[in-house]
Amino acid sequence: MLKGNGISDGIGLGKVILLKKEKIKPEKIKIDNVEAEKEIFQKALKAVEEETASLVEKLTGTEKEIMQAYLMILQDPNLVEETIKIIEQEKCNAAYGVDKGFQKIIKMFEEIDDPYMAARSRDIADMKKKVLNKILNKEEINLSKLPPNSILVTKELTTSDTAKLDLKNIEGIITEEGGANSHMAIMARTHGIPAVGGIKQAMGQMQENDFIAMNGGTGEVFINPSEEECTRLREIKEKLKWEKEQLENYKNEKSMTKDGHQVELLANIGGVQDVSIALKNTAEGIGLFRSEFLYMDSEDFPTEKEQFEAYKKVAEKMPNQKIIIRTLDIGGDKELKYMKLPKEKNPFLGYRAIRIYLDNIPLFKVQLRAILRASHYGNLAIMLPMISSLEELREAKQIIEEVKEELRNKQVPFQEDIEVGIMIEIPSAAILAEELAKECDFFSIGTNDLIQYTVAVERGNEKVANLYSHFHPAVIRLIKYVIESAHKNHILCGMCGEAAGDLAFIPLLVGLGLDEFSMNANKILGARKLIRELNFEDCKKLADTVLKLSTTDEIKKVLHSIEFC
């Protein structure tokens, strides 16, 4: 049995398809007919371009936008000109010209001190390989036509790979690299495909057509498993299937405990394309619209019109529900290729989110105008990220009022009483919660950052990952104080971090009085089922017990021992 990182829940049983990514190093061959080699290159480039364009037509949402970016790479005149120049000057074969020409551009991007550009260099390398395969007549695995019950095993899946995947025939994905936040992992979770990452040398340990049984939840992978192991996993698979079917009964039900305490379950989304999943799972609203995805998926700052159209579409799709739009939360581990942010030794403690906006007020106003205009078409709310002080909140609210006045003067309709709330994700904001609550309309606790700032653990650092936990007593006590401060000042308190969707943590949050839980839309029905099996009074007693505990292990033990979890 091999053990990796479970990155998408579910059981997969099927035969291995090895997606090998061999390095192609063409030999340099002197040629006489330069024009013929240039034609070979142009023909191969056109073939890959046509295949990519055809793929773009079949995709939607973020995946479509990513593949459109790939198409732009293929159409980059610098790549074409550099390759043709090498073929002409060195009188060499097309394959060698492509290898050397593309590599020169790749190296240019790698040397730019910008993480996005480094990532784009890998995209160019991916395109280089596809063009070389055409020239050298090397066949690639057709990811759009896989045999039934395939377990795809590879070093890593590129963005173009995931866009092509034949999802209906994939039983599971196993990679040597790639974590829970990779594009592949997000895609697998969205489509319910079991996935395990971090299996070192997986390609060397598995062979084509090996039978594999895998558990995407635990990270276990069995090569040619015994009948006993298969039976155990099939039973788990049937149980998961049955549980999923049972959750259908909780669609459109109230998120209410047995003794009548009601909360709201909302969805986190990254764009318009995610609304359908929220609606399918009967989310009671959108608790976090990550507006930064509009910026990250664009070649330049999205215009006011582009943002307005996106926000308006979501508002129209969910006309009777609250939609909380978080203003641009960039910086830290999220960068924009076209925004030259300063390089920082510790970007998580640096120039990010509201700090950027208050330093770039025209940029802030563009987004605010788009949100306010779209608010005329639904129940939108504005949420400010990374607030650490009253001064920041007051300055941001003043700018919002200025934008409102500008729209009034132009007689542009908007929701006059639009709510303005803040993320509580910095300890200083949690400690100042009572004062902040007097000057905003709602709180949303962002546990992902609140944990890392409270316990001084970078959430992406594997070396200290064991210390990063929402079960930490200090984190729980901060959450308690934030909820109490909100209620004391008659405003709602929600949570949009990963902790909000953790079934073991939900009873505690109910007991602490959390009003709104915003999570991955696919988790909503499971959370609703759990909440309807709880008693609010019992949850309050549980919270009292947990608050007296002083270690993470003690708290985990208590919360994981609850019958429903």
Question: DSSP string covering 415-455, please?
Answer: -TT-EEEEEE-SHHHHHTHHHHHTTSSEEEE-HHHHHHHHH
Which residue in the list 92, 440, 496, 539 is annotated as catalytic? 496
Instruction: Please list the residue range(s) of the chain that carry CATH number 3.20.20.60.
Output: 261-560
Catalytic-residue membership of 183: yes
Q: Domain 34-135: which CATH class? A: mainly alpha
Q: Is the pLDDT of residue 65 over 80?
A: no
- Looking at residue 108, its pLDDT comes to 75
Q: What is the tens place of the pLDDT at every residue in 375-404? A: 999 999 999 999 999 999 999 999 999 999
- Torsion, Cα 514 520 526 531, to 10 degrees, reads 10
The number of residues in the chain equals 565
- Looking at residue 450, its pLDDT comes to 94
- Categorize the per-residue pLDDT at 9 as very low, low, confident or very high, splitting at 50, 70 and 90: confident
Percent of the chain with pLDDT over 90: 50
Alpha carbon 459 to its chain's center: 15
What pTM, to 2 d.p., does this model score? 0.71
Which residue in the list 183, 230, 376, 487 is annotated as catalytic? 183
Pick the CATH number of 2-17+142-239 from 3.40.50.150, 3.40.1410.10, 3.50.30.10, 3.10.129.10: 3.50.30.10
> SS3 helix, strand, coil % of the chain, rounded to 5?
50, 15, 35
- Looking at residue 356, its pLDDT comes to 84
Mean pLDDT confidence for 112-118: 52
What is 261-560's CATH number?
Answer: 3.20.20.60
Between CA 449 and CA 84 the distance in angstroms is 49
Q: Which region, left, alpha or beta, applies to residue 140 given φ > 0 means left and ψ of -120 to 50 means alpha?
A: beta
Percent of the chain with pLDDT over 70: 86
Instruction: Please list the residue range(s) of the chain that carry CATH number 3.50.30.10.
Output: 2-17+142-239
Q: What is the tens place of the pLDDT at every residue in 349-368? A: 777 788 888 888 988 999 99
Lowest mean pLDDT among 94-98, 124-128, 129-133, 427-431: 124-128
- Looking at residue 105, its pLDDT comes to 77
Q: What is the tens place of the pLDDT at every residue in 223-263? A: 999 988 999 999 999 998 898 889 999 999 999 999 999 99
Mean pLDDT confidence for 275-295: 90
pLDDT top residue among 497 and 495? 495
Instruction: Please list the residue range(s) of the chain that carry CATH number 1.10.274.10.
Output: 34-135
- Looking at residue 333, its pLDDT comes to 56
